């Protein structure tokens, strides 16, 4: 891939094919003689976990599941909350036993703990980033400096400036042959990869419409009540990161990115603009920044649409699925949450058993484990493997829909990429005594989006 292709904002269909679940993500340096950053074969790969919540804990367990390919061990942990670190450690000791070797002097707490944890690794080991997404670029920069391979959870950016920064940082990661996985695990699902082959072979005809739904009650830190008096604004916002746009891109970016990404994978393109609606209901004394409902119309360059519907309200109809409508029929991309996908194709546009014309053939391996199988194999075999550019693009497209809802404007891909509103500047200088990137008003509530009033910024 030449430099101009690497820097283009829209990923081509060929790039999408290269990132199916059965192929390692291709780096821009594929085919070039690359420096080896880890010995092949059975050499020990050490892990450091930065961010010890549920997803980070699960990522370690998934990484350890690859141990049949060679020894792998967790040797360091970092978080800003000691109780969360301790809970994660106890869970992993129970699940992974001897693959966890993290004595007290390698368990670090604080905003600089990420450095101390990565300092325990040698070049070619793996740092796992599962903190709130705002910190991705900070941690990635340090990992590159240390010569570490990386697994980072999604989203990888939350705004335009951090997206541009991540793309720039990744140029050095590519030059150093660092392997980087991004936690968009649906791209590693075998059933979805088979569906993509069927779509590309014309089984549903030309795609004319895509639909995606994530509609359920409040989960995670979707909403937050007033801050406790004994906790700083900074620690409250980091703890409840889904509630605050600077920390995570809010519920929109954290919850909906998978459905958006899997649809764009099937389409073989990123949308060029977004038009959206959203609103808050039944919020009482909550102080978070999220809307309860989002409805986004994404438009691709050929004029076709992706309709995304998101809702976090109890007592309503729930749905968690994605669909592709073509001129010949309907493809189910995912049917109930992320896995198993149970991909199928029907003639026409109704889901009826008598109209079933294809289904994925094999049992579905767990995509959360498969993404680790592919990353560790690339490390041990020194294969080009870097998912950062695609991760940034998926994060940007997601942010594009979020910004359209929060401002009430049509937002293009280029608008989002070049937006100058950085939600949280200078995060690499943050300490526990720093003021929070988001300050409350006199009533203790944080600023929320005001569509049509704030048309250039989300808050």
In the chain, the percentage of residues whose pLDDT exceeds 70 is 91
Long-range contacts made by residues 351-359, C-beta under 8 angstroms, separation at least 24?
355/329, 357/203, 357/329, 358/198, 358/203
Token pair listed for 76: 């360091």
How far apart CA 322 and CA 306 sit, in angstroms, is 10
**Mean pLDDT to the nearest integer, 406-412:** 98
Nearest-10 Cα torsion for 331, 337, 341, 345: -20
Q: Judge if 160 and 59 occupy the same domain.
A: yes
Q: Judge if 326 and 348 occupy the same domain.
A: yes
Residue 401 lies in a domain: yes
Token pair listed for 193: 């990869």
Q: Judge if 65 and 208 occupy the same domain.
A: no
Above 50 in pLDDT, residue 1? no
Above 50 in pLDDT, residue 23? no
Q: Judge if 89 and 107 occupy the same domain.
A: yes
- Residues linked to residue 331 through DSSP beta bridges, in sequence order: 324, 345
Q: Judge if 164 and 285 occupy the same domain.
A: no
Token pair listed for 25: 């993500």
Residue 450 lies in a domain: no
Contact 404, 410 (CB under 8 A): yes
Say what the pTM is. Answer: 0.91
Give residue for tokens 């038009």: 275
Provide the pLDDT for residue 59.
Answer: 98
Q: Judge if 39 and 161 occupy the same domain.
A: yes
Of 252, 127, 221, 220, give the one whose Cα is nearest residue 178: 127
Above 50 in pLDDT, residue 11? no
Provide the pLDDT for residue 32.
Answer: 43
Q: Judge if 143 and 203 occupy the same domain.
A: no
Cis peptide bond prior to 155, omega within 30° of 0: yes
**CATH code of 314's domain:** 3.30.360.10
pLDDT in tens, 149-188: 999 999 999 999 999 999 999 999 999 999 999 999 999 9
Q: Judge if 338 and 240 occupy the same domain.
A: yes
**Residue ending a domain, choose from 387, 419, 442:** 387
How far apart CA 261 and CA 341 sit, in angstroms, is 14
Residue 437 lies in a domain: no
**CATH code of 79's domain:** 3.40.50.720
**Residue ending a domain, choose from 354, 387, 420:** 387
Residue 11 lies in a domain: yes
Distance of CA 42 to the CA centre of its chain: 30
Confidence of residue 37 (pLDDT cuts 50, 70, 90): low
Residue 444 lies in a domain: no
pLDDT in tens, 39-50: 444 599 999 999
Strand order in the sheet with 344-347: 356-359, 344-347, 329-334, 319-326, 207-216, 305-312, 293-299, 273-279, 411-412
Q: Judge if 376 and 316 occupy the same domain.
A: no
pLDDT in tens, 122-135: 999 999 999 999 99
How far apart CA 114 and CA 172 sit, in angstroms, is 20
Phi, psi of 449 (to 5 degrees): -60, 145
Residue 438 lies in a domain: no
Above 60 in pLDDT, residue 20? no
**Mean pLDDT to the nearest integer, 247-268:** 98
**Overall number of domains in the chain:** 2
Q: Judge if 319 and 356 occupy the same domain.
A: yes
In the chain, the percentage of residues whose pLDDT exceeds 90 is 89
pLDDT in tens, 60-74: 999 999 999 999 999
Provide the pLDDT for residue 361.
Answer: 82
Q: Judge if 221 and 317 occupy the same domain.
A: yes
Provide the pLDDT for residue 35.
Answer: 53
Residue 435 lies in a domain: no
Above 80 in pLDDT, residue 3? no
Above 50 in pLDDT, residue 75? yes
Q: Judge if 52 and 139 occupy the same domain.
A: yes
pLDDT in tens, 260-319: 999 999 999 999 999 999 999 988 999 999 999 999 999 999 999 999 999 999 999 999
Above 60 in pLDDT, residue 332? yes
pLDDT in tens, 336-349: 899 999 999 999 99
- Residues linked to residue 346 through DSSP beta bridges, in sequence order: 330, 356
- The whole domain housing 177 covers 3-187+368-387
3-state SS assignment for residue 219? coil
Confidence of residue 9 (pLDDT cuts 50, 70, 90): very low
Contact 149, 126 (CB under 8 A): yes
Residue 334 lies in a domain: yes
How far apart CA 276 and CA 261 sit, in angstroms, is 17
């Amino acid at each position: 891939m030449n430099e101009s292709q690497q820097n283009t904002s829209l990923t081509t269909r060929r790039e999408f094919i290269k990132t199916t679940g059965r192929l390692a993500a291709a780096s821009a340096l594929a085919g070039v003689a690359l420096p080896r950053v880890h010995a092949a074969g059975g050499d020990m790969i050490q892990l450091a976990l930065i961010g010890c919540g549920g997803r980070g804990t699960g990522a370690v367990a998934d990484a350890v599941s690859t141990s049949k390919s060679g020894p792998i061990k967790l040797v360091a942990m970092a978080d800003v909350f000691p109780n969360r670190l301790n809970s994660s450690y106890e869970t992993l000791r129970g699940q992974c036993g001897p693959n966890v070797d993290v004595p007290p002097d390698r368990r670090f707490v604080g905003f600089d703990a990420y450095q101390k944890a990565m300092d325990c690794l040698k070049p070619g080991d793996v740092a796992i980033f599962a903190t709130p997404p705002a910190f991705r670029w900070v941690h990635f920069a340090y990992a590159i400096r240390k010569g570490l391979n990386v697994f980072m959870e999604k989203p990888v950016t939350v705004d335009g400036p951090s997206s541009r920064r991540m793309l720039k940082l990744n140029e050095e990661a590519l030059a150093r042959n660092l392997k980087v996985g991004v936690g968009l695990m649906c791209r590693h699902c075998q059933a979805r990869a088979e569906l993509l082959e069927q779509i590309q072979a014309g089984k549903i005809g030309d795609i004319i419409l895509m639909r995606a739904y994530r509609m359920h009650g409040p989960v995670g830190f979707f909403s937050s009540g007033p801050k406790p008096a004994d906790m700083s604004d900074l620690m409250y916002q980091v703890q409840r990161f889904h509630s605050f746009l600077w920390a995570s891109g809010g519920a929109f970016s954290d919850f909906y990115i998978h459905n958006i990404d899997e649809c764009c994978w099937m389409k073989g393109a990123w949308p060029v603009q977004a038009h959206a609606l959203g609103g808050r209901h039944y919020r009482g004394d909550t102080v978070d920044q999220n809307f309860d409902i989002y409805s986004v119309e994404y438009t691709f360059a050929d004029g076709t649409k992706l309709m995304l519907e998101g809702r976090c309200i109890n007592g309503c109809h729930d749905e968690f699925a994605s669909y592709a409508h073509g001129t010949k029929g309907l493809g189910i991309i995912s049917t109930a949450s992320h896995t198993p996908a149970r991909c199928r194709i029907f003639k026409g546009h109704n889901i009826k058993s008598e109209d079933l014309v294809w289904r994925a053939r094999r049992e579905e391996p767990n995509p959360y484990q498969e993404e680790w199988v592919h990353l560790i194999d690339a490390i041990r075999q020194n294969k080009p493997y870097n998912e950062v550019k695609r991760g940034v693009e998926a994060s940007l497209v997601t942010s594009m829909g979020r910004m359209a809802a929060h401002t009430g404007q049509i937002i293009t891909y280029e608008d989002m990429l070049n937006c100058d509103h950085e939600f949280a500047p200078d995060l690499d200088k943050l300490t526990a005594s720093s003021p929070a990137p988001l300050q409350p008003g006199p009533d203790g509530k944080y600023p929320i989006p005001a569509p049509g009033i704030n048309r250039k910024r989300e808050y």
